[in-house]
Amino acid sequence: MSQTAKDIDFMHLHKEGIKACFFDIDHTILARDSGKIDSSVVESLINSKIDYYIATNRSLTDDVNNIAKQIEAKGIMCSDGRKIFKPRKVYYKKLIEMSGLKPNQIAMIGDRLVQDIWGSNRMGVTSVLVNKLGSQTFFDRILSIPDKIIPILFRFKYKDIKR
């Protein structure tokens, strides 16, 4: 787990064969209700040797396009609001197709265990979990409930297997 997106060792990812990173927006590279990405995050991305994209459950809006322009993203993967959204396999399949790479050459970077980490891992995509940026609204806390429950369930499952 990295503290924030700017703390990720992109050189290490590159040495491990990662050629593209997909970044979640909210709480990963952008604090909620903020329109501007921290300049140190932008600098670390632009200085990396890896192509980077946006991967969000937001719809494609001017805000999303502006965020992509701030980091000079190569592309944007958005939700259609009905069938294509994280953590569904179809979302990650389209993400892989967009990059033109093999799943093991891609990293998904996000703050959500279920949507970003589990969703990408089950399609063979490397993942990097980061701490959430900024404060959370009530709605954000509700959406984070699965992120708190899933590790508990896996812990019990792991303990049962270990016996």
CA distance 108 to 22: 5
Q: Is the pLDDT of residue 24 over 90?
A: yes
Domains of the chain: residue spans and CATH: 5-134 (3.40.50.1000)
More confident residue, 1 or 68: 68
Sign of CA dihedral 101, 45, 89, 116: positive
Structure tokens at 77: 């993967």
Q: Which band of pLDDT confidence, cut at 50, 70 and 90, is reported for residue 141?
A: low
Upstream peptide bond of 87 is cis (omega within 30 degrees of 0): yes
User: What confidence score (pLDDT) does residue 40 get?
Assistant: 80
Q: Which band of pLDDT confidence, cut at 50, 70 and 90, is reported for residue 159?
A: very low
Residue range 121-139: average pLDDT? 83
Per-chain mean pLDDT for the chain: 84
pLDDT in tens, 45-55: 777 889 999 99
Mean pLDDT is lowest, of 30-39, 55-64, 127-136, for: 30-39
User: What confidence score (pLDDT) does residue 4 get?
Assistant: 84
User: What confidence score (pLDDT) does residue 46 get?
Assistant: 77
pLDDT in tens, 92-116: 999 999 999 999 999 999 998 888 9
Q: How many residues are listed for the chain in this entry?
A: 163
User: What confidence score (pLDDT) does residue 157 get?
Assistant: 41
Q: Is the pLDDT of residue 39 over 90?
A: no
User: What confidence score (pLDDT) does residue 163 get?
Assistant: 30
CB 57 within 8 Å of CB 32: no
